[in-house]
């Protein structure tokens, strides 16, 4: 067993204990509540609410959980205001669940709107985007750069801008849409992307690359790896390669939609991006699970463009770094 706290188990136990206490109070308790019981119930209700949100995250994404939480708290607050509060005796205390709903509802709505239409935070979990993004970076993603999308279903309702080559994009992983990935766009619809001999080309034209020294990887015992500056879009960005790694590990290539658009061999691969899809790769070019392995990203999986590192507890100097 690995060290560290099992937060899922803690949430389950805390939520179960809170539900049992609330159920006992509603069905078994006799007589008035003591001040101590009132205080405990004021903690139990929020704990149960948060535990339920955490359990729902096992089955859907955070936006859907926020929507459900907003609807639930709004309905409780409105139902009490319209049906129960007018009948309540003057001076009678408001039920704890109503007080909690009234407190949580506006906060949930504000967070839901900000995350859905303005910016959404993400944490970088792997090194596939080194040296641009490091493990532990907390980033912000612009949600309206590529158009206004309906929350939860992610359907675009208003065009604002287009996904461009070179953009760093957060998207739903095509293999498991409940998981978010971040990569760089190297191919847009109609592009023919090739990666052979550690060289990337788009539509037959090699992508400009210039050596920029070495990147010292602290996670790999401070190994020095060749670093480069690559220009896919309007601005150059950092990129690195790992010489011993193959261009593509053929045994890891999946069967994916439009697989017939790709050709693989020991030298590398060539893929033609189908309409309404994008080809993604990591800046850590040879240590990235990306489109070469699991295929193209549909437009309706795009969540937004990454633009800022707002926190890294392991390296505070990274705070405020723009993402190019």
Give the active site residue among 183, 288, 291, 303: 183
Check if the beta carbon of residue 289 is closer than 8 Å to that of residue 311: no
C-alpha distance from residue 171 to each of 87, 240, 300 (Å): 50, 22, 9
**What is the DSSP secondary structure assignment for residue 91, as one 8-state letter?**
T
Classify residue 95 as exposed, middle or buried by CB count within 10 Å of its CB (0-12, 13-18, 19+).
middle
* Residue 183 a catalytic site member: yes
What the block records as the tokens of 199 is 């060289």
The kind and range of the H/E element at 15 are: helix 7-27
Check if the beta carbon of residue 315 is closer than 8 Å to that of residue 136: yes
Residue from 133, 150, 188 nearest 166 by CA:
188
* Residue 288 a catalytic site member: no
Q: Count of CB atoms within 10 A of residue 161's CB? A: 12
Check if the beta carbon of residue 306 is closer than 8 Å to that of residue 140: yes
Give the active site residue among 116, 128, 288, 291: 128
Phi (first) and psi of residue 260, to 5 degrees: -65, -15
Check if the beta carbon of residue 264 is closer than 8 Å to that of residue 250: yes
Sheet holding 119-123: strands in order across? 119-123, 138-142, 302-311, 168-172, 180-187, 277-281, 297-298
Strand 262-265 to 119-123 pairing: unpaired
Residues involved in catalysis: 128, 183
């Amino acid at each position: 067993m690995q060290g560290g706290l099992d937060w899922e188990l803690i949430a389950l136990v805390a939520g179960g204990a809170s539900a049992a206490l609330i159920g006992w109070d509603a069905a078994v308790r006799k007589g008035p509540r003591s001040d101590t019981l009132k205080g405990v119930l004021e903690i139990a209700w929020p704990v149960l609410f948060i535990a339920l949100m955490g359990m729902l995250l096992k089955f859907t994404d955070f936006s859907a959980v926020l929507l459900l939480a907003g609807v639930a708290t709004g309905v409780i607050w409105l139902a009490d205001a319209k049906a129960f509060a007018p009948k309540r005796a003057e001076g009678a205390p408001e039920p704890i669940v109503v007080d909690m709903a009234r407190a949580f509802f506006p906060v949930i709505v504000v967070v839901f709107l900000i995350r859905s239409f303005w910016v959404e935070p993400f944490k970088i979990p792997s090194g596939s985007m080194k040296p641009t993004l490091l493990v532990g970076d907390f980033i912000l993603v612009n949600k309206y750069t590529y158009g206004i999308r309906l929350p939860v279903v992610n359907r675009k309702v208003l065009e604002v801008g287009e996904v461009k080559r070179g953009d760093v994009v957060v998207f739903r992983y095509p293999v498991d849409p409940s998981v978010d990935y971040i990569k760089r766009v190297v191919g847009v619809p109609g592009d023919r992307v090739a990666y052979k001999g550690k060289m990337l080309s788009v539509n037959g034209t090699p992508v400009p690359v210039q050596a920029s020294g070495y990147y010292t990887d602290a996670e790999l015992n401070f190994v020095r790896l060749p670093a480069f500056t690559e220009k896919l879009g309007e601005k150059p960005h950092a990129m690195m390669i790992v010489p011993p790694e193959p261009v593509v590990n053929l045994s890891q290539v999946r069967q994916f939609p439009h697989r017939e658009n790709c050709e693989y061999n020991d030298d590398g691969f060539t893929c033609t991006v189908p309409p309404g899809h994008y080809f993604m790769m990591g800046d850590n070019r040879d240590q990235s699970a990306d489109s070469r392995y699991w295929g193209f990203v549909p437009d309706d999986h795009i969540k937004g463009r990454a633009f800022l590192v707002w926190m890294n507890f392991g390296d505070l100097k990274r705070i405020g770094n723009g993402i190019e």
